[in-house]
Structure 1
């Protein structure tokens, strides 16, 4: 996936509620975040909610141990430099949301895709899928 396709796919993903995202929309973003050197470049064009969604994606997937240490540090640094306003205050509905999403101030997450997303974090995933179209 090239930078332009990555930006478009990422923009499409963060402009919709994460609860409604389909695995086919999330998978190329996760693969790019984990196994390429691509990073978002149009962050300043995103609204607050979209930035929170992006931060959630960065924080969630940088924790996957299948990415190289260097890549995880890149994602951590990028997430750290992503400026956000204070998170929203907790409300009762937040209790059903991923704690990481809640911390960022989101009332949505990717929990509905957990089984599929777990398949992307195996240590052998990159080797088994070495023909990534990056």
Structure 2
């Protein structure tokens, strides 16, 4: 099972909000925590995300720092029975903070070839 799913707001066929509405119906034993990724940081997007149970909205372009902080926050909010990620030290060495995630499994879903390459390279560097 995946612990976190970052879902793009505007996808062809099924948008991220509708995807989030359908996740509970999958009957997963441990459904992932959901975060919305969007290029539009409007208040209505945040409100819609909250309505479907998404506590986090990432506005593109997403920096590595914002992604890291969001993932730590999302994972630390997991229900009991799922181990939370270690909390980063606010002024600690970024390499040490990143080492806490070493070995994590990441599912990257991106339909744009260039974005896939950029994301893959960023993850490999990390």
The structure carrying a bigger helix percent of its residues is 1
TM-score (norm 1): 0.29
Highest relative contact order (Cα 8 Å, sep 6+), 1 or 2?
1
The structure carrying a bigger strand percent of its residues is 2
TM-score (norm 2): 0.30
